[in-house]
A = this chain, B = another copy of it.
């Protein structure tokens, strides 16, 4: 894959370094003191109407914009929230969409930082903290509780989607047990008994969902049918699990296939659907598939994904509010918001096949 690099268009730059204008520049040009410019930009009383306008006009002319580094250094507060996410998690993207407006409403700025392969959560957190984020919103944090506890004591931190009992962070998550129970109830009503669960490994909420799955199965007298397939919150994991199941069916006959699979999240469910489609296993005629999250993808999937809905908007609002309230009242203690999930039935679940 070659590349041709082309020096096209534009002329060379004016040799001078592009010096960013400062308040002093504005003040000089407007013929006032720097302090007055500061007053104008902070929208505080103490400047006449005309001076205010003149200052703003001059600032605009010379392209001045406030330097938030200096600003926050001076006032000691950055009013900035740091969000740690994985760019590939679609549900987290949904969360981010809703974090911005709520933060803005409360007068806070938002910076994102992603963990990627080779970029562990700890590094991401350090990056945000060193940029003076006052609080961290961790979307599906994967780090170990000990670290998170320490982090939560050092700064204000909110965990979204992962319940961390005894850890000194705010937490916003859904009542996983309820969601899973709804899903299993739904499947049982449709006549399913052999219901497998592809779990989310160490992903956020996975432990709770796994536990809830086992409990729900037992509650229906299906303890014998419990089967947890180790997975992850990725399409790949769904594909792998799907292949595993298909391979078993090919060896020992389709009767061994579970009649339903509860995936760890929507991405994993997607992977299952993909594999089943490839293998000619019909969903939901032969196997029902249920996801978790209701990320914006789930209603797009070929047959519509039956899934447990987590309300991204509400979760984002709680997360931001928890962070801001803790910042503005240091007396507060970490809190926990547990939201009710809701099963959304679409096309990927149907009555159990015979056998």
- Contact check, B300 vs A273: say whether CB atoms are below 8 A apart: no
A93 interface residue per 8 A CB criterion: yes
Query: A residues touching B (Cβ–Cβ < 8 Å)?
Result: 1-13, 15, 17-18, 63, 65-70, 72-73, 78, 80, 85, 87-88, 90, 92-93, 96-97, 100-101, 109-114, 116-119, 126-127, 129-132, 154-155, 165-168, 235-236, 239, 270-271, 273-274, 277-278, 296-297, 300-303, 311, 314, 318, 330-340, 342
13 A-B pairs besides A8-B165, A101-B119, A111-B131 with CB distance below 8 A are A2-B340, A6-B336, A8-B336, A13-B333, A18-B155, A68-B69, A68-B130, A69-B72, A69-B78, A87-B93, A97-B114, A271-B300, A302-B302
CA–CA, A332 to B10, complex, Å? 10
In the bound complex, residues from chain B placing their C-beta under 8 Å from that of A239 are 300
| Chain B residues within an 8 Å CB radius of A69 | 68-70, 72-73, 78, 131-132
List chain B residues, Cβ under 8 A from A87. Answer: 85, 87, 92-93, 96-97
Copies in the assembly, this chain = 2
Task: Point out the residue from B12, B68, B110 that lies within 8 Å of A331, measured CB to CB.
Answer: B12
List B contacts of A72 (CB < 8 A). Answer: 69
**Cα distance, A330 to B15, chains bound together (Å):** 7
The 3 closest A-B pairs by CB, nearest first: A87-B93, A112-B112, A277-B302
14 A-B pairs (CB sep. < 8 Å)? A3-B340, A7-B333, A7-B336, A10-B168, A11-B333, A18-B330, A67-B130, A88-B90, A100-B114, A100-B116, A101-B118, A110-B113, A110-B127, A302-B302
Collect the chain B residues with CB atoms within 8 Å of residue A1's CB. 311, 314, 339-340, 342
**Which residue of chain B has the shortest Cβ distance to A301 in the bound complex?**
B274
Identity of the chain B residue whose Cβ is nearest the Cβ of A154 in the assembled complex? B63
Distance, CA A78 to CA B132, complexed state (A): 13
Once A333-B7, A335-B6 are accepted as A-B contacts, the answer to whether A67 and B132 lie under 8 Å apart by CB is yes
A68's nearest neighbour on chain B, judged by CB, is B130
Cβ–Cβ < 8 Å partners of A155 in chain B: 18
Q: Which residues of B contact A154 (CB under 8 A)?
A: 18, 63
Say yes or no: A314 contacts B3, CB within 8 Å.
yes
With known contacts A87-B93, A112-B113, A337-B3, A330–B13 Cβ distance under 8 A? yes
Instruction: Look across to chain B and name the residue whose beta carbon is closest to the beta carbon of A336.
Output: B6
* Among candidates B118, B165, B303, residue contacting A277 with C-beta atoms closer than 8 Å: B303
State the CA gap A88–B118 with chains docked (Å): 22
Residues of B contacting A339 in the complex (Cβ-Cβ under 8 angstroms): 1-3
